[in-house]
Amino acid sequence: MALVLTAGGAGAAVRPDIWPVPARALAADPVLEARIDALLARMTLEEKVGQTIMADVAEVTPDDLARWPLGALFAGGNSSPGGTGLVPRDRWLAAADAYHAASLAGSGIPVIWGTDAVHGHNRLIGATVFPHNIALGAAGDPDLVRRVGRAIAAEVAATGLDWSFGPTLAVARDARWGRAYESFGSDPALVARLAGAAVEGLQGPVEPHVPGRDFLKDGRVIATAKHFIGDGGTTKGIDRGDTQLPEVALRDIHGAGYPPALTAGVQTVMASFSSWNGAALHGHHGLLTRVLKQRMGFDGILLGDWDGHAALPGCTPGSCPAAMNAGLDMFMAATDWRGLFQDTVRRVQTGDIPAARLEDAVRRILRVKIRYGLFEKPAPSLRAAGLPEPGAAAHRALAREAVRRSLVLLKNAGDLLPLPAGLRVGVTGPGADDIGMQSGGWTLDWQGGTGRNHLFPGATSIFGGIAQAVARAGGSAELAPDGRFATRPDVVIAVFGEPPYAEMAGDRPDLDFGRHDQGRSRAMLDALKAQGLPVVSVFLSGRPLFVGPELAASDAFVLAWLPGSEGAGVADMLFRAADGTVAHPFTGRLPMAWPEAGDTVRIPE
């Protein structure tokens, strides 16, 4: 225990009795536990340790599983089957079948495979890319979140994968944080209201009275509530930083989403890279074991983040007994899974990791695999056979609905919006015809990218949606990235905002959009206004930013967040129907406070 408290830092300081006890999602199952007992009795030490190791598919071949009885695989933000390039669905399915067969031929315990499907199956060409969570928070509808989760699960399962590393339940309190868009917002009540629905969408409902109950059946995937706990509250919004709060505030603010997620039956929880009052969460016995597992009753897999264990004192990517002793059940071993496997075996043999702690970790992993029906499921390609193709029309229609319901109207001078559809419309700006920019980070690659429309088959850029909308009403749309139109338009729609980013690279020292944009967007808007043109600004952003000058230079200003692959959903909100009616009024509301100036950071009390 001394080792645990040293590595966990203040592991004994928590007060588990002040934390909630969520309603138990699944009743204790003696038959399931007896099945686990029988499996444990026949497993070797190496097989048990193997279950606690998750390795990146870019670093593991099916042949490796014959020698190394790994319990899980993951596709990292830049990883795909066989390496780091983008591959089609059939390659995912073939790899999933090969890994599944190899694990059965080796340890006999099927391997599970997860990915960061945070707004769709974002490493798959042709998948539906949904708006990021911050946009779903602006919509604020649990049913919409549930349906989006259901569609994401189906697209992930259609490629033979079992597990999504979502939903993110961070309560983003500082928009300077580069992962703010992964949060539903800054209000703990909002996050709590959407958390359970997000889990249910991915896994299916646990309640036996729900018609068509399909908890963890084919077409559903294992969900992951992350990142436990406080990742949205670090000082100055620094990713992997330190959240400095009393325990009651940590519970009430950053813990708000976890009770509903547990009640919804979430099967995995991922530990945070961040720290709480100086103690790294990957080694925090008090919060991981005493609070989450013992007090809150979580009986699934407590998963590490990408080599997160390596940040603990005395640990490396290939060695970290402190994390397992603190309560981690499965390492996400990104860079040295072989070394970590061998070291963990030795640590159990020497007693640095108690045998009982290893047995508990493996029991939890097997429990989730059995609940998921993994031992009975056929090869991944057979499970996926009846599922819709990723990018199916119904999923794209749902994503388009999510876009419409998430947009926030910040300015509308003279009731300019919605526009008559039969106008000559000029469209400009760097985000007008760039599906990568409108989708943001965690899209095809970890940090996202721009200028790659050819990698989004079936998707629609914002300009594409505008062109379709006005053509139906007899109008016209002209795209001029430099703002020089061949024909003078009746109105200009300017699409601009943040370039794509993800964690770490997305952290900002301030919230002044114009400063980081170097005034380019303001100059574009000023040039359009100088021509006497009405200007509608569509702003792409993963967080609230100070845009005072850009607002002043616009007649209407629409916050589109990061809408994803269905840019037509933005166009739906900008135009009236051909008969002049308003089909889709703006209903989105800000899920985070808007900064009053670029150096102002408004953090809710």
Does the pLDDT of residue 92 top 60, yes or no?
yes
Does an H or E element contain 436, and which?
Answer: helix 435-439
Residue 74, phi then psi, degrees to nearest 5: -145, 150
pLDDT of residue 13: 87
Q: Is 305 a catalytic residue?
A: yes
pLDDT of residue 598: 62
Does the pLDDT of residue 596 top 90, yes or no?
no
Query: Is the torsion defined by CA of 358, 364, 367, 371 positive or negative?
Result: negative
pLDDT of residue 403: 98
pLDDT of residue 294: 98
pLDDT in tens, 446-461: 999 999 999 999 999 9
- Is there a contact between 159 and 114 (Cβ–Cβ < 8 Å)? no
What does the DSSP assignment read for 342-369?
HHHHHHHHHTSS-HHHHHHHHHHHHHHH
Does the pLDDT of residue 560 top 60, yes or no?
yes
pLDDT of residue 4: 33
The number of helices, as runs of H, and strands, as runs of E, in the chain is 22, 17
pLDDT in tens, 361-405: 999 999 999 999 999 999 999 999 999 999 999 999 999 999 999
pLDDT of residue 76: 87
pLDDT of residue 6: 34
Q: What is the SS3 string spanning 460-517?
A: ECHHHHHHHHHHHCCCEEEECCCCCCCCCCCEEEEEEECCCCCCCCCCCCCCEHHHHH
Question: CB-based burial of residue 413 (10 Å sphere; 0-12 exposed, 13-18 middle, 19+ buried)?
Answer: exposed
Q: Is 445 a catalytic residue?
A: no
- Cis amide leading into 418 (omega within 30): yes
pLDDT in tens, 400-444: 999 999 999 999 999 999 999 899 999 999 999 999 999 999 999
pLDDT of residue 64: 94
Does the pLDDT of residue 11 top 50, yes or no?
no
pLDDT in tens, 248-300: 999 999 999 999 999 999 999 999 999 999 999 999 999 999 999 999 999 99
pLDDT of residue 580: 86
Catalytic option among 305, 433, 445, 517: 305
Residue found by looking up tokens 């400063």 in the block: 515
Does the pLDDT of residue 603 top 90, yes or no?
no
Report, as an integer, the average pLDDT of 216-230: 96
Q: What is the SS3 string spanning 537-573?
A: EEEECCCCCECHHHHHCCCEEEEEECCCCECHHHHHH
pLDDT of residue 602: 58
Strand partners, 329: none
Q: Which two tokens stand for residue 36?
A: 């686990």
Does the pLDDT of residue 10 top 60, yes or no?
no
pLDDT in tens, 332-364: 999 999 999 999 999 999 999 999 999 999 999
Query: How many other CB atoms sit within 10 Å of the CB of residue 388?
Result: 15
- The distance between the two most distant Cα atoms of the chain, rounded to a whole number of Å, is 79
Q: Which residue has the higher pLDDT, 8 or 36?
A: 36
pLDDT of residue 214: 84
Angle at CA of residue 13, ends 10 and 16, nearest 5°: 125
pLDDT of residue 293: 98
Catalytic option among 56, 503, 507, 512: 503
Mean pLDDT of the chain: 94
Residue found by looking up tokens 């990018």 in the block: 391
Cα gap 322→314, rounded to integer Å: 9
Does the pLDDT of residue 199 top 60, yes or no?
yes
Domains of the chain: 2-384 (3.20.20.300), 407-574 (3.40.50.1700)
- Is there a contact between 403 and 303 (Cβ–Cβ < 8 Å)? no
Query: How many other CB atoms sit within 10 Å of the CB of residue 138?
Result: 23
Cα gap 273→280, rounded to integer Å: 7
pLDDT of residue 9: 43
Q: Give the confidence band of 212 by pLDDT, cuts at 50, 70, 90.
A: low
pTM over 0.75: yes
pLDDT of residue 25: 84
What is the C-alpha radius of gyration for the chain, rounded to an integer number of angstroms? 24
Q: Which two tokens stand for residue 98?
A: 């090969």
Report, as an integer, the average pLDDT of 123-134: 97
Residue 260, phi then psi, degrees to nearest 5: -65, -35
Report, as an integer, the average pLDDT of 147-172: 98
Report, as an integer, the average pLDDT of 32-52: 97
Query: Is the torsion defined by CA of 35, 38, 43, 48 positive or negative?
Result: positive
Does an H or E element contain 437, and which?
Answer: helix 435-439
- Is there a contact between 121 and 382 (Cβ–Cβ < 8 Å)? no
Residue 31, phi then psi, degrees to nearest 5: -65, -45
